[in-house]
Amino acid sequence: MDVIVAPSVRTVLERRGEQDVTIDVTLRFCGGLVTKDAVALAGRPPEGMGFHLILHDGLRLFWRQRFEIEGSDPTVDSRVTPKKVRLFTRGSEMVAEASY
């Protein structure tokens, strides 16, 4: 997985006194359609939630990927990973995009 972090993300993290980013990617399979959401938050996730640690240029990135399949409970799975995850900002908020 290729991780791209925009310089503005570091600025946001420095203002908040953080070195950790939580990235949560969700793939939803419903009625023959697949939707994808990615969320980035400053800080470390709670333990035991299925996040993996990636060290990236002095940052600690905790990421997980959830699958929500219609009629089933959501599952966390990392057998299929994004080719690229991009972190950037929109205003003062962090944004994540995952590409497969």
pLDDT in tens, 51-88: 999 999 999 999 999 999 999 999 999 888 899 999 99
**Strands of 1-100, DSSP E:** 2-5, 20-30, 33-42, 52-56, 59-69, 75-76, 84-90, 93-99
Q: What pLDDT, on a 0 to 100 scale, did the predictor assign at position 78?
A: 87
Please check whether residue 42 is in contact with residue 21, taking contact to mean a CB–CB distance below 8 angstroms. yes
| CA 91 – CA 75 distance, rounded (Å) | 32
How many independent structural domains does the chain possess?
A: 1
43 pLDDT above the threshold of 90: yes
Entry field: residues in the chain: 100
Q: What is the domain range of residue 29?
A: 2-99
The reported pLDDT for the residue numbered 60 is 97
Q: List the CATH number of the domain containing 55.
A: 2.60.300
Full-model pTM:
0.90
